């Protein structure tokens, strides 16, 4: 069986604004029908990459392929790409119908077909019958649905979504996450989504590309990037993991690491480590138990702060040597108060080990 051509492929692309290199050596292959998210802090180059697919910025090196065809020389108007922006960018004086029909008229689709397709797209975004309304008569969430309808109505090869949810309030954001995902699945369209919001990325994506300062830190499924961060940056950016510096103090069988805080923990290492090597033990706040401690590793400390969240609480715990760790643990009986002594536990397999330079071992 021949391998299917990727929907979009970046081959070692560089993008510069004048002398400033915003994206360096970016490579990524996106499978047809998948939902891929570019995730990273502000300024890391996510939008720049998205815009390069649409032809809105020029690449200074490398190649971009859509369906196996080089597109760097194809002008914008010939690229078959749907775009949704953070600001809905609807034409304010045009009706919903004319907004959604725009890409079809532009492509000289016959009138009856335009009416049919606009109707279908409005059904898809659950705003049937809104053809005659003006954008100003719609809520933010509804306007974003219209923007989505406008982007998918001409069945583009790729749908680009640039922080489409960030202008919406929290409730609407969650609803639209589910909505966008459903529409993407139902249409089978290949989607590339840009966000700096880790929850959005984790909940919506088939694959996540974590970016930092113009380069890729890690590409993987949501579970992979969350459970097995490749670098200290990824561990910190997704879920603010505890990063405990230490030194390997015992090898053979279990590996023991003596933390800078003075306490020793057992860890599962994927390969044998030399005694004395410096490592960082990465533990997610959710992997730590508090109170009725489970797990082979026990750390003792003192609660610095406790925030009650309903079913669980977030604790900041001083474990000595100037190290505070965060635990997000279910409440066992009662919330442990500030100043109280406490034990924190985790399993040797419940952590990831990074080397001194911050790369996963
Ligand atoms: P944000 O989430 O804030 O939009 P981003 O990750 O999408 O960030 P980009 O907008 O791609 O980042 O910008 C990447 C870098 O390129 C930033 O340092 C930005 O200042 C710079 N940059 C973006 N557009 C231009 C431009 N037109 N001219 C010069 N520099 C630019």
**Structural domains of the chain sorted by starting position, each given as residue range(s) with its CATH number in brackets:** 8-230 (3.40.50.300), 240-355 (2.40.50.140)
H or E element at residue 36: strand 35-39
Q: Does residue 46 have its Cβ closer than 6 Å to ligand 1? A: yes
Q: Does residue 173 have its Cβ closer than 6 Å to ligand 1? A: no
Contacts of residues 212-219 at CB distance under 8 Å and 24 or more positions apart, as own/partner, are 212/40, 212/41, 212/44, 212/237, 213/43, 213/44, 213/45, 214/21, 214/22, 214/23, 214/24, 214/26, 214/44, 214/45, 215/23, 215/24, 215/25, 215/26, 216/26, 216/27, 216/28, 217/40, 219/28
Residue corresponding to tokens 């290199």:
21
Q: Does residue 17 have its Cβ closer than 6 Å to ligand 1? A: yes
Q: Which residue, among 152, 93, 94, has the nearest Cα to 122 in the 3D structure? A: 152
Q: Which residue, among 271, 248, 265, has the nearest Cα to 356 in the 3D structure? A: 248
Residues of the chain whose pLDDT is less than 50?
1
Strands 158-162 vs 8-17: parallel, antiparallel or unpaired: unpaired
Strands 8-17 vs 61-66: parallel, antiparallel or unpaired: antiparallel
Q: Whose CA is nearest to atom 28 of ligand 1?
A: 17
Count of alpha carbons within 13 Å of 80, Cβ hemisphere only? 15
**What pLDDT score does 254 carry?**
83
Tell me the CA distances in angstroms from 119 to 59, 95, 122, one per residue in order. 37, 13, 5
Q: Whose CA is nearest to atom 3 of ligand 1?
A: 42
Ligand 1 centroid–CA 13 distance in Å is: 16
Q: Does residue 45 have its Cβ closer than 6 Å to ligand 1? A: yes
Q: Does residue 19 have its Cβ closer than 6 Å to ligand 1? A: no
Whole-number Å distance between alpha carbons of 342 and 322: 16
Beta bridge mates, 208: 37, 220
Q: How far is CA 151 from the centre of its chain?
A: 22
Measure the CA angle with vertex 338, ends 333 and 339; round to 5°: 115
Residue 58 phi, psi (nearest 5)? -90, 145
Tell me the CA distances in angstroms from 167 to 86, 164, 275, one per residue in order. 6, 7, 51
Whole-number Å distance between alpha carbons of 74 and 58: 11
Tell me the CA distances in angstroms from 139 to 127, 146, 162, one per residue in order. 12, 11, 19
Ligand 1 centroid–CA 344 distance in Å is: 42
Number of helices (H) and strands (E), helices first, in the chain? 8, 20
Q: Which two tokens stand for residue 231?
A: 């670098």
Ligand 1 centroid–CA 22 distance in Å is: 7
**What pLDDT score does 1 carry?**
47
How many other C-beta atoms lie within 10 A of the C-beta of residue 144?
27
Residue 70 phi, psi (nearest 5)? -60, 130
Q: Which of 38, 46, 162 to mutate to test the pocket of ligand 1 (most atoms within 8 A of CB)?
A: 46
Ligand 1 centroid–CA 142 distance in Å is: 28
Q: Does residue 106 have its Cβ closer than 6 Å to ligand 1? A: no
- Rounded to 10°, the helix 96-106/140-152 angle is 20
Q: Does residue 86 have its Cβ closer than 6 Å to ligand 1? A: no
In the chain the first and final C-alpha atoms are separated, in Å, by 36
Instruction: Assign 189 to helix, strand or coil.
Output: coil
**What pLDDT score does 293 carry?**
66
Atom of ligand 1 nearest to the CA of 45: 11
């Amino acid at each position: 069986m021949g391998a299917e051509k990727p929907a979009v492929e970046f081959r070692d692309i560089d993008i510069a604004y004048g002398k400033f290199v915003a994206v360096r050596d970016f490579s990524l292959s996106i499978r047809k029908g998948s939902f891929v998210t570019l995730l990273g802090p502000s300024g890391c180059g996510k939008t720049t990459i998205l815009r390069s697919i649409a032809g809105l910025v020029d690449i200074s090196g490398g190649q971009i392929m859509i369906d196996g065809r080089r597109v760097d020389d194809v002008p914008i108007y010939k690229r078959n790409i749907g775009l949704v922006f953070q600001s809905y960018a609807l034409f304010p004086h045009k009706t919903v119908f004319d907004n959604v029909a725009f890409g079809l008229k532009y492509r000289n689709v016959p009138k009856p077909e335009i009416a049919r397709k606009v109707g279908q797209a409005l059904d898809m975004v659950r705003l049937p019958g809104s053809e005659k309304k003006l954008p100003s008569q719609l809520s933010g969430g509804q306007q974003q649905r219209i923007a989505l309808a406008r982007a998918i109505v001409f069945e583009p090869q790729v749908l680009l979504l640039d922080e489409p949810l960030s202008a919406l309030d929290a409730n609407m954001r969650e609803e639209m996450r589910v909505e966008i995902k459903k529409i993407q699945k139902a249409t089978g369209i290949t989607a590339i989504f840009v966000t700096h919001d880790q929850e959005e990325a984790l909940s919506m994506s088939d694959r996540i590309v974590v970016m930092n300062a113009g380069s890729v830190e890690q590409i993987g499924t949501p579970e992979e990037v969350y459970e097995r961060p490749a670098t200290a940056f990824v561990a910190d950016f997704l879920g603010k993991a505890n990063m405990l510096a230490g030194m390997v103090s015992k090898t053979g069988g279990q590996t023991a690491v003596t933390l800078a805080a003075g306490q020793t923990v057992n860890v599962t290492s994927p390969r044998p480590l030399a005694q004395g090597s410096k490592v960082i033990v990465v533990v997610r706040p959710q992997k730590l138990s508090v109170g009725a401690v489970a797990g082979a590793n026990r750390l003792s400390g003192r609660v610095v702060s406790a925030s009650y969240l309903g079913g669980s609480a977030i604790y900041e715990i001083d474990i000595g040597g100037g190290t505070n760790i965060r635990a997000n643990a279910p409440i066992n009986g009662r919330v442990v108060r500030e100043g109280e002594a406490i034990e924190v536990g985790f399993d040797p397999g419940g952590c990831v080990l990074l080397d001194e330079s911050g790369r996963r071992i």
